[in-house]
Amino acid sequence: MHPLISTNDLTALLRQDPHPTLLDVRWSLLGPPGREDYERGHLPGAVFVDLDAELASPPGVQGRHPLPDAGEFEQVLRRAGVDRARPVVVYDAGDGSAAARAWWLLRWAGHDAVAVLDGGFAAWTEEGRPTTTEVPHPREGDFRAAPGAMPVVDADGAARVAREGVLLDARAAERYRGDVEPMDPRAGHIPGAVNAPFAAHTADSGRWRSSAELAEHFAALGVGADRPVGAYCGSGVTACSVVLALEHAGVTSAQRPASLYAGSWSNWSADPERPAVTGSEPG
């Protein structure tokens, strides 16, 4: 399944029986909680999943959004009605950067038919498509998590990717350079990492750029089929959209995905022994 789905294609799938499971993962780093948006209106049949509480373990030494426990994540998905044999479509407010976290986790846990709604809730409502405030109560799904289908690296692994391939930093340029650091212990970036802000994946409309545009974008950053590639961000959320963008572009594939440094800068910067580079160059 392609990692992105258009509003037209989702509408067609929702007319089928069985239709895809819908997950609403609207979220903002600085709040307010996405559930408030969900309660004001969501796609019919969509179940809200809380990124902070259900798509991550509690903050700690592994970072601000560590990967969830596989068993607990399985229960979250089953309560949302996720079946192994039925596609899942996830959406957020617009640019897909939060929805990509759910996409990545589902793929990591072994579900191979997952897509992010291109343009998210904003695109859906701009086109006048139906929404509701009714909260669904799906039957329990039969999905069983088998983590490991997507590659994960720790801090040492991220440093190795930066040395031997291309490590993409999904944060905004000012955080990459170390001009500001609003969340984590230190400013800067991992030595050798290349800045690849997640905002570059989408156009002004909020929809994802074409495969060809993104392939050109990543090629300019030095990404190639013959080199390992990985991604990180502040806490492992928006880096998932880099993994998705690489696959959408055809640079990587479902069989050969990019690696995710799940702890990301929140894990790296908490260790005073690990160096931090400031400025616009990888270092």
- Residue numbers annotated as active site: 233
Any idea which residue has 């969830």 for tokens?
A: 68
Is 154:263 a contact under the CB 8 Å cutoff? yes
3-state per-residue secondary structure call for 45-102: CCEECCHHHHCCCCCECCECCCCCCHHHHHHHHHHCCCCCCCCEEEECCCCCCCHHHH
From the list 156, 153, 150, the residue with the least C-alpha distance to 114 is 150
HSE at residue 93, side-chain half, CA atoms within 13 A, is 13
- Which run of H or E residues covers position 131? none
Is 5:116 a contact under the CB 8 Å cutoff? yes
Phi, psi at 89, each rounded to 5°:
-120, 130
Q: Collect all residues with Cβ–Cβ distance below 8 Å to 35 and sequence separation of at least 6.
A: 48, 50
d(CA 203, CA 210) in angstroms, rounded, equals 9
What sign has the CA pseudo-torsion 170, 171, 172, 174? negative
Is 251:164 a contact under the CB 8 Å cutoff? no
Residue 77, both tokens: 């998905």
